[in-house]
């Protein structure tokens, strides 16, 4: 949790300095020893990492000790969906559109690749935030035909149709079944939060 929180903070730092965080991680990974890569993303999901460390933090507070790294990492990771929404706002703004009234298509809502679990998925937060801003949000996920987690209740849209009709496509979960080349070709703009489009160059790609 702490390592992911650190790399998410570095991603936001790099964004502010106009540096490609994915290239930074690849460069660091050339070190032949003592390096384990962690990757940024739209936030943490699942039933373990986003939740279990706070049990330890809560218990330590009972003993009069503040687990500051856990709390800080939780704050950074928890804020990533908001950061993703700002990236979407910027991408739409560059195409002379506002979030309100725009159709935004989410690619993948599971909390990680190639599973059918949406527990604590950052996609739910991103969708809810966009809906609150007035966006018309749709999604595609080959593993999850329907979302029924209040306040997000939705049915999946056909991938090709969703991409073609969207003002902005957002990759939240990088499922292997997605046709990324077709996605880039048929999208007005793509916000990639997982580096799923690594190696694909196009002016309509906005990377985390």
Which helix (H) or strand (E) covers residue 205, if one does? strand 205-207
Strands 205-207 and 146-149: unpaired
- Choose among 176, 172, 175: nearest CA to 194: 172
96 is catalytic: no
Question: What residue ranges in 144-189 does DSSP mark as E strands?
Answer: 146-149, 152-155, 168-171
Tokens coding 42: 């739209």
Report the distance separating Cα 7 and Cα 114, nearest Å.
Answer: 23
Task: Name the active-site residue from 14, 48, 96, 168.
Answer: 48
Report the distance separating Cα 162 and Cα 18, nearest Å.
Answer: 30
Q: Residue 135: exposed, middle, or buried by beta-carbon count in 10 A (0-12, 13-18, 19+)?
A: buried
140 touches 158 (CB < 8 A): yes
Tokens coding 87: 């990236």
Active site residues: 48
């Amino acid at each position: 949790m702490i390592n992911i929180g650190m790399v998410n903070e570095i991603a936001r730092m790099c964004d502010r300095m106009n540096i490609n965080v994915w290239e930074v991680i690849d460069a660091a990974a050339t070190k032949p020893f003592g390096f384990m890569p962690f990757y940024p993303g739209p936030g943490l999901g699942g039933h373990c990492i986003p939740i279990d460390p706070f049990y330890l933090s809560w218990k330590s507070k009972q003993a009069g000790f503040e687990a500051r790294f856990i709390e800080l990492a939780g704050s950074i990771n928890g804020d990533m969906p908001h950061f993703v929404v700002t990236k979407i706002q910027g991408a739409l703004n560059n195409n002379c559109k506002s979030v309100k009234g725009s159709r935004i298509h989410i690619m993948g809502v599971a909390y990680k690749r190639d599973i059918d679990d949406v527990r604590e998925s950052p996609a739910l937060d991103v969708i809810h935030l966009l809906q609150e801003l007035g966006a018309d949000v749709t999604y595609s996920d080959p593993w999850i035909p329907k979302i029924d987690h209040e306040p997000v209740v939705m049915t999946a849209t056909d991938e090709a149709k969703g991409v073609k009709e969207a003002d902005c496509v957002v990759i939240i979960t990088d499922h292997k079944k997605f046709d990324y080349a077709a996605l880039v070709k048929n999208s007005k703009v793509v916000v990639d939060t997982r580096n799923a489009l690594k190696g694909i160059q196009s002016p309509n790609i906005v990377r985390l």
